[in-house]
Amino acid sequence: MALLERFRDALPQVVDDIRTLVICESPSDDLAAVAASAELTAGLGARYLGREPERIVLDGRTHLRWRLGSGPRRVLILCHHDTVWPIGSLRSHPWEATDTVLRGPGCFDMKTGTVMAFHAIAALSDTDGITVLVTGDEEIGAPSSRQLIEDEARGCEATLVLESAGAAGAFKTERKGVSMYRVAATGLAAHAGLEPEKGVNASLELAHQLPSVAALSAVELGTTVTPTVLEAGTTTNTVPARGQFAVDVRVRTIAEQDRVDAAIRSLLPYLPGAQLTITGGPNRPPLERASSAQLFDRACRLAAAHRLPEPRQVSVGGGSDGNFTAGIGIPTLDGMGASGGGAHADDEHVLVAELPERTALLAALLQDLLTGSGTPAGRP
């Protein structure tokens, strides 16, 4: 049976499996919900991969790992089962499936990608060397799973990330690195009406720091440095003694990430008597285009060989766990999951018609990475 036909025939089952995961809500900050989602995902994965996963609990969060075969680790498949949607979101955003579109919290980002991975691997005649890692804290920056991800990737020839696709189904061949900071100012409280001159105004200190921080952006290099949440003061008649603002940094290169980090950490107080405290730093290194170029070219060749649509590529500002694997030098191709849109938004959706084509290309790329043949034979 031709590769694409196989996945077209399997489409009703794929949709049903996606529904199974989507209706199990799994917000990252709800440990019980993440644990329940992990068990459901483990059962679904065991059905297609032929074995139970290892359940790895770190800081109360459940991650799943399948190491297939006994040979050296060659390809890492990277997924996550947590979402940004709080418990109860199914009431306002119920599961919906038509011939063209799937809807539901987390369907696009990225429970469909996890199901695609299971079905693609199940189509292979030999899976020796594949590791599947499904984490439970990606949406909050992978605080417990980052080391696990990097350790699993080391020594692999490639990491394939089943995050949702970019616009028009494009693979994400470049992702910006992410840094997060808090700039906190400490001043001195005083009565705003009786003796304001005795205070050191933390709000005013922050007002002087904000333009300096924003000026670190370098748009021509793709670097954005954006002050976001700002808070200061306690009452309307008190000179603020404390305040802080958050900073979101996105960069295309390690050099830019280092430059911005050094500049923010070197900020000095403007007002006499004020103090600054800088916390945070780089959260994800950039996934630079060079890390994905060969894998993308390989996917293009396989798409042509299997008469599948020609892959597109896109650069995006958002980070993923693929940033971590690229950051340690492992070739990484991201955005191999669902085509659709609305990640983290009310219109989150998956395009049904593209699921067989995208799953077929994933299977072909996996087989090619393992054997060079690019032609899955299929398991009974």
Cβ 63 vs Cβ 56: under 8 Å: yes
Q: Which single residue is written with the structure tokens 């593209």? A: 354
Q: Which residues are 65's β-sheet partners?
A: 54, 133
- Which residues are annotated as catalytic? 82, 138
Indicate the residue type of 149: I
Phi, psi of 238, deg, nearest 5: -125, 130
Rg for the chain (alpha carbons), in Å? 23
- Residue 115: which of 29, 31, 24, 30 has the closest Cα? 24
Are the C-beta atoms of 206 and 183 separated by less than 8 Å?
yes
How far out from the chain centre does Cα 316 lie?
11
Amino acid at 347: D
Residues 45 and 134: their CA atoms lie apart, in Å, by 10
Answer for the pair 287, 296: CB distance below 8 angstroms, yes or no.
Answer: no
- Find the farthest-apart pair of alpha carbons in the chain and give their distance in angstroms, rounded: 85
Single out the residue of 150, 170, 127, 216 nearest to residue 314, CA to CA: 170
Query: Residue 336, preceding bond cis, omega within 30 degrees?
Result: no
| Structural contact between residues 137 and 81, judged by C-beta atoms closer than 8 angstroms | no
Backbone angles phi, psi at 364, to 5 degrees: -65, -40
For 271-302, give one letter per residue: b (16+ CB within 10 A) or e: beebebeeebebbbbbbbeebbeebbebbbeb
Q: Specify the 3-state DSSP secondary structure of 314.
A: strand
Asked whether the CA dihedral 8, 12, 17, 23 is positive or negative, the reply is positive
